[in-house]
Structure 1
Amino acid sequence: MSLPKPFLALSAATVLATTGTRFSAIAVPWLVLETTGDPVLTGLAGLAEMLPYVLAKALGGPLIDRLGPRRMAISCDLLSTLAVALVPLLYWAGLLSIWVLLPALALIGVLRAPADASKQAMVPAVAALGHMPLERVTGVVGAADRLAGTLGAASAGALIGLLGSGAALLANALAFLLSALVLAVGVPRTDAAVVAGDAAAEPTMPVGYLAQFAAGWQVLRSDAVLMGLVIMIAVTNLFDQAYSMVLLPVWVRAAGLDVTWVGLFLATFSASAILGSVLAAIYGARLPRLLLYTLGFLCAGPLAFGSFALNLPLSAIIAILLLGGLAAGFLNPIISAILLERTPTPMVGRVIALTGALTWSLIPFGGLYAGLLVNNVGILPALGVTAMLYLCTTLLPLAVPSFRQMGQARAGAPS
Structure 2
Amino acid sequence: MTVPGGKEADAAPGSRGPLTTVLAANAVSITGNSLTLIGVPWFALDTTGSPGKAGFVAFCAALPVLLSTLAGGPVIDRLGRRRVSIASDLICGLALASIPLLHRLGVLEFWMLCALMAVTGLCHAPGEMARHVLVPDLAQRAGTALPRAASLYDAVARGARMTGAAIAGLLVAFLGADTVLFLDAATFALSALLVTAGLRGVPSAEPMRDGPPLSPARYRADLREGYAYLFRARLMLGIMVMVMVTNGLSQSWSSVLLPVHAREELGGPAAQGLLVSVFGGCALAGALLYGAVGERFPRRAVFATGFLIGGAPPYVVAALTDTTAPLLVTMAAAGFGVGVLNPILTTVMYEKVPEALRSRVVGASTAGVLLTTPLGGLAAGFLVERVGLTSTLLGIGGLYFLTTLAPLVFPAWREMDIRPPSADIPGGGPAADTRPGSDPAGSDPVSSSGSSTPVPAPGPGGTPPRR
TM range (shorter): over 0.9
Determine whether 1:241 maps to 2:237.
no
1:95–1:203 CA distance, 2 compared to 1 (3 A): closer
1:116-141 CA deviation, whole Å, 9 max, x = no partner? Answer: 11111111102211333322111101
Give the stretch that moved more between structures: 92-101 or 203-212: 203-212
Secondary structure, in 3 states, of the residue corresponding to 2:144? coil
1:400–1:312 CA distance, 2 compared to 1 (3 A): farther
Give the stretch that moved more between structures: 4-13 or 204-213: 204-213
| Equivalent position to 1:120, from 129, 132, 135 | 132
Does the CA-based 8 Å contact 2:311-2:334 persist in structure 1?
yes
Q: CA deviation at 1:192?
A: 2.7
Trace 1:300-315 onto structure 2 (pairs within 5 A). 300-311=310-321, 313-315=323-325
Secondary structure, in 3 states, of the residue corresponding to 2:371? coil
Does the CA-based 8 Å contact 2:17-2:198 persist in structure 1?
yes
Determine whether 1:250 maps to 2:260.
yes
1:131–1:103 CA distance, 2 compared to 1 (3 A): same
1:337 aligns with 347
Does the CA-based 8 Å contact 2:199-2:205 persist in structure 1?
no
* Rounded Cα–Cα distance in structure 1 between residues aligned with 2:412 and 2:53: 39
Trace 1:77-88 onto structure 2 (pairs within 5 A). 77-88=89-100
Give the stretch that moved more between structures: 296-305 or 385-394: 296-305
Give the stretch that moved more between structures: 72-81 or 384-393: 72-81
With normalisation by structure 1, the TM-score equals: 0.94
Q: How many residues align?
A: 411
* Rounded Cα–Cα distance in structure 2 between residues aligned with 1:370 and 1:243: 8
1:161 aligns with 173
1:109 aligns with 121
1:174 aligns with 186
Determine whether 1:283 maps to 2:293.
yes
Residue identity over aligned pairs, in percent, reads 33
Letter in 2 for 1:403: W
With normalisation by structure 2, the TM-score equals: 0.84
Give the stretch that moved more between structures: 384-393 or 252-261: 252-261
1:12 aligns with 24
1:319 aligns with 329
1:401 aligns with 411
1:22 aligns with 34
1:93 aligns with 105
1:118-177 CA deviation, whole Å, 9 max, x = no partner? Answer: 111111102211333322111101011111211111111111112111111111110011
Does the CA-based 8 Å contact 2:134-2:205 persist in structure 1?
no
* Rounded Cα–Cα distance in structure 2 between residues aligned with 1:413 and 1:343: 9
Q: CA deviation at 1:316?
A: 2.1
Does the CA-based 8 Å contact 2:266-2:324 persist in structure 1?
no
Secondary structure, in 3 states, of the residue corresponding to 2:353? coil
2:6 aligns with none
Unpaired segments of 5 or more residues in structure 1? none
Secondary structure, in 3 states, of the residue corresponding to 2:106? coil
Query: What's the C-alpha RMSD, in Å, of the aligned pairs?
Result: 2.1
Does the CA-based 8 Å contact 2:313-2:330 persist in structure 1?
yes
Q: CA deviation at 1:38?
A: 1.3
Letter in 2 for 1:325: G
* Rounded Cα–Cα distance in structure 1 between residues aligned with 2:97 and 2:44: 17
Q: CA deviation at 1:286?
A: 1.9
* Rounded Cα–Cα distance in structure 2 between residues aligned with 1:314 and 1:193: 45
Q: CA deviation at 1:191?
A: 3.6
Q: CA deviation at 1:264?
A: 1.0
Give the stretch that moved more between structures: 204-213 or 45-54: 204-213
* Rounded Cα–Cα distance in structure 1 between residues aligned with 2:411 and 2:214: 32
1:97–1:313 CA distance, 2 compared to 1 (3 A): same
Determine whether 1:363 maps to 2:373.
yes
| Equivalent position to 1:384, from 374, 383, 394 | 394
Trace 1:28-43 onto structure 2 (pairs within 5 A). 28-43=40-55
Determine whether 1:51 maps to 2:63.
yes
1:140–1:218 CA distance, 2 compared to 1 (3 A): same
1:133 aligns with 145
1:373–1:3 CA distance, 2 compared to 1 (3 A): farther
* Rounded Cα–Cα distance in structure 2 between residues aligned with 1:382 and 1:358: 25
Does the CA-based 8 Å contact 2:266-2:323 persist in structure 1?
no
* Rounded Cα–Cα distance in structure 2 between residues aligned with 1:14 and 1:54: 20
Q: CA deviation at 1:232?
A: 0.7
Q: CA deviation at 1:340?
A: 1.6
1:340-396 CA deviation, whole Å, 9 max, x = no partner? Answer: 212122000111111112112211111111111111221111111111100000001
* Rounded Cα–Cα distance in structure 2 between residues aligned with 1:123 and 1:105: 28
